[in-house]
Structure 1
Amino acid sequence: MTTTSLERKFAIGVAGLSAWSWAIGARARRAGRRRREAEFSVMPRGDGTVVEVDQRRPANAAFGVVFFNGLGLPHEEWTGVRRYLPETAAHVGYNRPGHGLSSPRDGVTLEEHFEIVDELRDRYLDGLPVVLVGHSLGGHLAAAYAELRGGTGLSHVVMVDPTVTADLRARAGDSADAWTRQRLLMERVWAVAGLNVLRPLGSFGGHFSDEIRASLTQYHALPRTWATAYREYLAAHSYRPVRGLDMPLHVVTALKGTIAERHLASQQRLLALSERSRHHVYEDVDHMGVVADERCAKALAHLASPESRP
């Protein structure tokens, strides 16, 4: 067999594999959209856009919880926590613009993000005291919203291994920042090619049930997910730090997989945001396990209850 024929066969094989992986990715995207349309609702907004919502309000609701997602994650990340909320808890999980069924929008400001939360509260949690719970970048957004809105019907804030925007700015341009940007861009490339459906989820995947892992895989198969996450990551560098809260605060920190001393010190500084703050540290849990691990999910559900106010 000649070198030319070998090269031709190799090229045909690569092309076939690429077409196969693209088809698998396209199928996952279609299945994911059908799943979302069947399981979740959308909240229409005055500007013609919609926001994907997963909400529950029992007849005997005594308080409400708004969940803020981490970077590149859908509201399904809170499934385990929601399962352990008290029966008297109403809750709202939602996807920010450009994620899931939520309409994409370029250049969404913090105030526009918070207007969505105002609308969610008015529509689904009206009249209830509200607890704000956010993970990763969502942790910062929850605290920033609480600072801006003050005591308007808010109970307390739970920041779960939150992003510290001052640290993001300090790391801008260093190797960690470059790696994060590259990873988000490559995830988009893999999504276009369908390759991120073929490879297993990251280490956090093992924390979730098979159903949630399937949903996450379909969600991450969307190139738009990663394009939006990349824009959100860049925007987060310009978010000003939260200066202070006039309500109680829980900070939950996961140390596994981090430079523990540095990460702990950064998270401890957040305790100064409130005169009534409490720190909860998990040395044996990583950034995703802190919301997905059953033990942590139970603990977060308790912290989301008004009775846990520091």
Structure 2
Amino acid sequence: MTTSFVRIGGVAHHLAVDGSGPVCVLSAGLGLSWFDWDPVVPYLAPHRTVVRFDRPGHGLSAPAAAPPTAAGEADRIAAVLDALGHDGPATVVGHSIAGFHAEAFARLHPDRTAALVLVDSSVEEHPRPSRTTAGARALGAVLGAAGVPAALGPALRRLTVRPDPAPAALIRRVYGTSRVLRGTLLENAHYGAVAAELLALRERHPLPPDLPVTVLAAPDGSARWERRQRALARRLGARYEAAEPSGHLVMRDRPDAVARAILS
């Protein structure tokens, strides 16, 4: 693995690159980091150049300079690929909220998209586009000043990701910082706005008719979630696959299924 930092929009972004071959770029869900894809990399690296990056305020990347938008996150993926000199089509993989970003990339940069894979992607049929940047930043500042990230950040990560294969020292380095807390709060505050923007993009920017799209879901016994994921697949003209058994962190629970969806 090679790691680097590149400046995009004035913000230092942490990147990790493994393997060789056609490019696939992996973006993880809210509050997650590049190393959450670690279980998938050994399956992919013999066949693909695997690009992982931390969005602003996530992992080791610097704090965000502006609130997230669907178009902005699509352009961020393009800028990551540009920084690495990859100007050809790439397979774009988005987990959870990053499914919004990956789909937006495929719609806004169709000539640079070889395939789209959505891993238990967020789905919002009727989003409420509230914007609370000031509130999210104020809460992050208060909690940071109170020392909450250093005191509770790693423990909260361990509670939400169980079992957590990441080394304890790495968890402390990432989740013991106010930077990651603030980045997570900011993305969460704009979740509805990004979802609403994506719905608008679907009307104006159709996916290429021959683009391979896969929706890889983790129903985990929820019939309602499976119906929503199947509906997403129908909306996108995608192949639907269920990763079972698996929780929401499919890349940890079923890395083989994630890799198969990407490689196929």
Q: TM-score, normalised by structure 2?
A: 0.80
Question: Any stretches of 5+ residues in structure 1 without a counterpart?
Answer: 1-38, 173-180
Residue 114 (structure 1) aligns with: 74
Residue pair 1:57, 1:124 contacting (<8 A) in 2 also:
no
Residue 191 (structure 1) aligns with: 148
Offset, 1:196: 3.4
Offset, 1:283: 4.4
Q: Secondary structure at the match of 1:250?
A: strand
2:220 counterpart of 1:287? no
Residue 42 (structure 1) aligns with: 5
Residue 261 (structure 2) aligns with: 303
| Identity in percent | 24
Residue pair 1:190, 1:196 contacting (<8 A) in 2 also:
no
- Highest Rg: 1 or 2? 1
Task: Name the one with the larger helix percent.
Answer: 1
Question: Any stretches of 5+ residues in structure 2 without a counterpart?
Answer: 131-135
Selected match of 1:74 from 33, 39, 50: 33
Q: State how 1:1-310 maps to structure 2 within 5 Å.
A: 40-45=3-8, 47-56=9-18, 58=20, 61=21, 63-104=22-63, 105-124=65-84, 126-150=86-110, 152-166=111-125, 168-169=127-128, 191-192=148-149, 194-197=151-154, 201-206=158-163, 208-211=164-167, 214-239=169-194, 240=197, 241=199, 243=202, 244-246=206-208, 247-256=211-220, 260-275=222-237, 277-288=238-249, 290-293=250-253, 296-305=254-263, 308=264
Q: TM-score, normalised by structure 1?
A: 0.69
Distance 1:284 1:291, change over 3 A: same
Distance 1:252 1:131 in 2: 14
Distance 1:190 1:265, change over 3 A: farther
Q: Tell me which amino acid in the other structure corresponds to 2:260.
A: H
Distance 1:82 1:128, change over 3 A: farther
Distance 1:87 1:165, change over 3 A: same
Distance 1:86 1:40 in 2: 15
Distance 2:161 2:66 in 1: 29
RMSD: 2.9
Q: Secondary structure at the match of 1:88?
A: coil
Number of corresponding residues: 244
Distance 1:81 1:283, change over 3 A: closer
Distance 2:87 2:30 in 1: 30
Please list the CA deviations of residues 252-297 of structure 1 after superposition, one character each: whole Å capped at 9, or x if unmatched: 11122x7x1221111111112333x211113432112x1102xx10
Distance 2:236 2:127 in 1: 22
Offset, 1:53: 0.6
Which of 225-234 and 101-110 deviates more? 101-110
Residue pair 1:135, 1:161 contacting (<8 A) in 2 also:
yes
Offset, 1:209: 2.4
Residue pair 1:219, 1:225 contacting (<8 A) in 2 also:
yes
